[in-house]
Copies of this chain bind each other. A is one copy, B any other.
Amino acid sequence: MIVHEEQPFNAESGLAALAETLTATDAFYVRAHGDVPDIDPVAWRLKVHGAVEHELELSLATLREVFEDREVTATLQCAGNRRAGLIAIRDIPGEAPWGPGATGTATWTGVALADVLSLAGPLGEAQHVGFVGADVSPEATPAQRFGGSIPLYKASRREVLLAWAMNGEPLPPVHGAPVRVVVPGYIGARSVKWLEQIEVRSTPWPGYFQNVVYRLLPEDGTPGAGEGMSLGLVALNSDVVSPADGETVPAGPVEVRGYAFAGGERYVSRVDVSLDGGAAWSSAELIDDLGPWAWRHWRIMVDLAPGDHEIVVRAWDSSAATQPENEAALWNPKGYVNNARPRVRVRVIPDRPRQAM
């Protein structure tokens, strides 16, 4: 993994891990704003409160016994994925230069948040469902627990999980043990780790990590309470995982591979690759359909002659929307949502001498 910060631990998947359609747990990106909290799973309780008929306090054993198990294969993607491309346009002080590896796909096991909410009984004014983790972040002043909310209509859909397992194994501490939220199609920040409280609310989460950060500002904006647009759904995105940017490859047929993710309830409908800067495009093969909540990997064989080449990619979603062309137009003060067409530059060398000179 490529480590961006040791404490709290923040790291992204390398290209080899991203080339697998299901991401191995030990190679799955970690984004955290505070240290991994030390939680005794036996003493752990999940409190459900706020605009509900019945407050709940559930042990892990109760959660697992009372509600039906569900398994969902879902991609998580940090809003800062591919920020490095924006930093290359203009520096973004204080933000880590995440590459294309702040995303990954796992099979998550847990219970439907909707089932827990049904038991609590949201009141008429309920519109949002907030999550509070056990992790305390010094990024806010004063320090506060990480938290965020999603709209009640999304929280009521059965793909949103309170998960205790990842790829068939108990959730590791760094990924939120004993229980994390998994909100498919939403930015990773809403899949709150080390979950301790669920608060049903009439308004969106007012905490630092939703009201100040994880918001898209205009290019000349300044972070502040309520400034910019709150991020939620993941925007259509893609990247190339092979060849690597700057790689040298032998001339001839080269397999280009990558991922694409549509976010929300959309799916990836096409991925195109261009070798001439975007004038002519060829459609890649979409492989390994993991269902509606997961990215789609793609591949295409291209024939490359010796010389320097740039490979440009654009994904399309099920609304027939495609990615914006250039990163420069997407620069924003926190470096979120770089979903411009990915570009990798490769140097192609002659494959082998055809005959002795």
Residues of A within 8 A of B (CB): 216, 218-219, 229, 231-236, 263-266, 269-270, 272, 278, 280-281, 283, 314, 316-326, 329-330, 336-337, 339
Contact = CB atoms under 8 A, between A and B. Distances in A.
B318 A233 contact: yes
Sort A-B residue pairs by CB-CB distance and give the 4 closest, nearest first. A233-B319, A235-B321, A235-B319, A320-B337
Contact of A329 (B229, B278, B320, B321): B278
B218 A283 contact: yes
Nearest to A262: B319
A32 to B, nearest CB: 22
Contacts of A236: 319, 321
A265 B151 CA distance: 13
A75 to B, nearest CB: 14
Contact of A339 (B231, B265, B321, B336): B321
Contacts of A272: 218
Contacts of A216: 270, 316, 320
Contact of A325 (B231, B266, B270, B324): B324
Most B C-beta atoms less than 10 A away, residue of A265, A316, A321, A337:
A321
Nearest to A263: B319
